[in-house]
Amino acid sequence: MVFFLQNLFNGIMLGGLYALIAIGYTMVYGILRLINFAHGDVMMMGVYFAFYAATLLSLSPFFSAIVAILGAALLGFLIDRIAYKPLRNAPRISALITAIGVSFFLESLAVVIFGAIPKSFLNVFRDRTILNKVLIVAGARIPLLTFLVIFITAAILVILFFIVYKTKIGMAMRAISMDIPTTALMGVNVDAVIGFTFALGSALAAASGIMWAMRFPNVHPYMGFMPGLKAFIAAVFGGIGSIPGAVLGGVLLGLIEIFLAAYFPSFMGYRDAFAFIVLIIILLVKPSGLLGKKITEKV
């Protein structure tokens, strides 16, 4: 029982982290139909921003996070302007390939600027009690961080829903996701809205990256690759384009990974493969994902 409970919480922890990253993926896709493969690397950049804000500028962890989130938002905006905007009317595959290019560019840039040697995110915290604090629930040991991740994911969801459904720019975002040319004809500055979406998605990436690095404090230029890929799978699993879907997909993916590894120990070295098997199954059985809408081709 304790074993089950322990793994349940481990799964929720990991799944929550996936979900946080997946929200950013799904938002950009929802609006642009672009799978932003650079998302995981934006997350990595965000972690580095926080690391240097804390170590070089000696800011407190909270303000480092703010700096990282703003920095990543700016980075996301610039990526859109430089890499994706010129391809707005190009075939979708061009933008996809560009996204992969941006991903490699960011990784290489990070190697050049920050160096390839792994850094410790622990250096950000002078007081590490929050990282090491563990609560014991019915015999299972749950890091305080688990609750922090759940709380922050929930808070982000509330903010996102508010932005998307209650603000003018949210309305513009929803309009663009349906039909870009018509929205433009209505006098909406489409590029500004898309830029805002990228900034928002990248800010989320930085926030999730910081959470990730608090749990896994090994910071290096390739750290965004696997989480990014997993979050992409989570987003597809939940129904890409749907924000609640990303959260559901992320949590389920985390639980699947942890439980398969815990109950089938001989397969635990191949955990990543489980994630890809989930992706293949979902694409075969329900391509639109768990909460995704069926998209009919307009003819």
Partner 1 sequence: MKKVISMFLIVLVVASLFSAVKIGVILPMTGGISAFGRMVWEGIQIAHEEKPSVLGEKIELVLLDTRSEKTEAANAAARAIDKEKVLAIIGEVASAHSLAIAPLAEENKVPMISPASTNPLVTQGRKFVSRVCFIDPFQGAAMAVFAYKNLGVKRVVVFTDVEQDYSVGLTNFFINKFTALGGQVKRVYFKSGDQDFSAQLSVAMAFNPDAIYVTGYYPEIALIARQARQLGFTGYILAGDGADAPELIEIGGEAVEGLLFTTHYHPKAASNPVAQKFVEVYREKYGKDPAALNALGYDAYMVLLDAIERAGSFDTEKIAEEIRKTRNFEGATGIINIDENGNAIKSVVVNVVKNGAFDFEAVINPSDIE
Range in contact with partner 1 (rule: CB under 8 A) among 5-13, 189-197, 243-251, 285-293: 5-13
Q: How far is the CB of 48 from partner 1 (least distance, A)?
A: 15
Residues in CB range of 189: below 8 A, 6 or more apart: none
Local structure of 142: helix, strand or coil = strand
Q: Which of 16, 30, 143, 209 contacts partner 1 by CB under 8 A?
A: 143
DSSP secondary structure code for residue 122 in this structure? G
Asked whether position 268 contacts partner 1 by CB under 8 A, the answer is yes
Asked whether position 78 contacts partner 1 by CB under 8 A, the answer is no
Asked whether position 182 contacts partner 1 by CB under 8 A, the answer is no
Q: How far is the CB of 258 from partner 1 (least distance, A)?
A: 5
Strand partners, 142: 135
Query: In terms of CB distance, is 133 or 286 closer to partner 1?
Result: 133
User: How many CA atoms are closer than 13 Å to the CA of 169, on its beta-carbon side?
Assistant: 14
Asked whether position 126 contacts partner 1 by CB under 8 A, the answer is no
DSSP percent split of the chain into helix, strand, coil, nearest 5: 75, 5, 20
Reference 150, options 135, 162, 165; nearest CA is 135
Total residues at interface with partner 1 (CB under 8 A)? 39
Strand partners, 143: 134
Question: 90: burial class by Cβ within 10 Å (0-12, 13-18, 19+)?
Answer: exposed
Query: In terms of CB distance, is 84 or 237 closer to partner 1?
Result: 237
Range in contact with partner 1 (rule: CB under 8 A) among 35-43, 75-83, 118-126, 278-286: 118-126
Range in contact with partner 1 (rule: CB under 8 A) among 80-88, 160-168, 209-217, 276-284: 209-217
- Give the tokens for residue 260: 């398969």
What one-character-per-residue DSSP string does 117-136 give? S-EEGGGG-S--HHHH-EEE
Asked whether position 132 contacts partner 1 by CB under 8 A, the answer is yes
Q: How far is the CB of 216 from partner 1 (least distance, A)?
A: 4
Range in contact with partner 1 (rule: CB under 8 A) among 56-64, 189-197, 200-208, 214-222: 214-222
Ramachandran class of 289: left when φ > 0, alpha when ψ lies in -120 to 50, beta otherwise = left
Query: In terms of CB distance, is 112 or 186 closer to partner 1?
Result: 112
Element spanning 137, H or E: strand 134-137
Asked whether position 57 contacts partner 1 by CB under 8 A, the answer is no
Asked whether position 258 contacts partner 1 by CB under 8 A, the answer is yes
- Return residues touching partner 1 (CB under 8 A): 3, 6-7, 10, 13-14, 111, 116-120, 122-123, 128, 132, 134, 141, 143, 215-218, 220-222, 226, 257-259, 261-262, 265-266, 268-272
